[in-house]
Amino acid sequence: MADEEGAARCEVAIVGDNFMLPETFERAILAACGDRVRLRSLRLPWPDAPMEHGYARAGVAGLKEYQGDPDAIVDFVAAAEVLVTQLAPLSAAMLDRLPALRLVAVSRGGPVNIDMAAARARGVRVVNTPGRNASAVAEFTIGAILAETRLIRAGHEALRAGEWRGDLYRADRTGRELSELTVGVVGYGQVGTRVVRLLKAFGCRILVADPYVQLSAADRDDGVAHVPLERVLAEADVVSLHARVTAETTGFIGRAQLAAMKPGALLVNTARGPLLDYAALYEALSSGHLGGAMLETFAVEPVPPDWKLLQLPNVTLTPHIAGASVKTVTIAAQAAAEEVRRHIAGQPPLNPC
């Protein structure tokens, strides 16, 4: 497509939603690329409507989760050279119908809505925005820990039920300050490192378990200890999960690991649901072996309304919102826009998938 002066402009199709707003993408791309782009936008209804999964519909094999009707997405993208999206699907069959497409910028940590093998085979570059919500999740994690250690959730629920829990001031029942606790951080990636940075301000003892990374010099100087997972489980008053989901980590906090945790310890998961064995967690919580848990992500989402963990009094649950912040939207849009700019300028991508 050419503008009035005849200069070629890159055609960019934007498929946003009610979190990653199309207009936020538009502003970021225009700021980065100016008049070198021609934009058009579509808004999907997520999160007001749920995502779909690649196993649930014929023709979208290879996609883990996405939102959007494949035919409608193909019709919208049409002859665009670039697609910027968070959730729109791109299957092999869809890519066959989009011969002009050269770049897909996915504004999330992983391109789970794209058939990556099909994209590579067709010469379509896919980029993502890793770490876009790392700050948001780290802050949320600290709040989750405090909600449990300082009995914020327990006090709130009692007052909502019309009960004044004066007993929460009893020495044998009241909360504990982070400054007297040992916190174990499992996974030392973009979120885990930020959680450690925030925890230092509370003066707690910090243990980190991640066999694939090394601690920073600053962390070592501040007394952070790099230890095996077994030691974290045995010594930590709070265990916070921040590992990626891989074949190795799927279900890696199971019955044996939960039994190895200190009696009365707290478990926090703001990472991914499949890291946990939920049947084993229910047993550890209902038996009183664990003092409590804060769960932000789940193996099945939305969780079933009759799920047993919803009934336990020592669990705080939130609907996968740790990464949801205005700053996350801004960071993701700017990162995607920079990838579009680099594509137009013939420069290599920053975050190729």
Q: Where in the chain is the domain with CATH 3.40.50.720?
A: 10-132+325-345, 134-317
Q: Stretch 266-271: mean pLDDT, rounded?
A: 97
Catalytic residue flag (residue 320): yes
What per-residue confidence (pLDDT) applies to 5?
Answer: 47
pLDDT at 7: 59
Catalytic residue (one of 36, 194, 205, 272): 272
Stretch among 57-66, 95-104, 108-117, 330-339 having the lowest mean pLDDT: 57-66
Percent of the chain residues topping a pLDDT of 90: 90
Quick check: 295 and 316 in contact, CB under 8 A?
A: yes
If one counts every other C-beta atom within 10 angstroms of the C-beta of residue 116, the result is: 17
Band of the pLDDT at 1, cuts 50, 70, 90? very low
Q: Token pair 């009759």 is at which residue?
A: 306
Residue environment code for 61-96, b if the CB has 16+ CB neighbours within 10 A, otherwise e: ebbebbbbebeebbebbeebbbbbbbbbbbbbebbe
Which one-letter DSSP state was computed for residue 350?
Answer: S
Q: Per CATH, which fold does 10-132+325-345 belong to? A: Rossmann fold (3.40.50)
Of 125, 153, 242, 320, catalytic: 320
pLDDT of residue 60: 84
| Distance in angstroms (rounded) separating the CA atoms of residues 102 and 117 | 14
Average the pLDDT over 40-69 and give the result: 89
Q: How far apart are CA 171 and CA 229, in angstroms?
A: 31
- When the pLDDT of each residue in the chain is averaged and rounded to a whole number, the result is 94
At residue 316, the pLDDT reads 93
pLDDT for residue 6 is more than 60: no
Domain 134-317: CATH architecture, name and number where available: 3-Layer(aba) Sandwich (3.40)
The residue annotated as part of the active site, out of 23, 163, 230, 301, is: 301
Mean pLDDT for 104-108 is 97
pTM, full prediction: 0.90
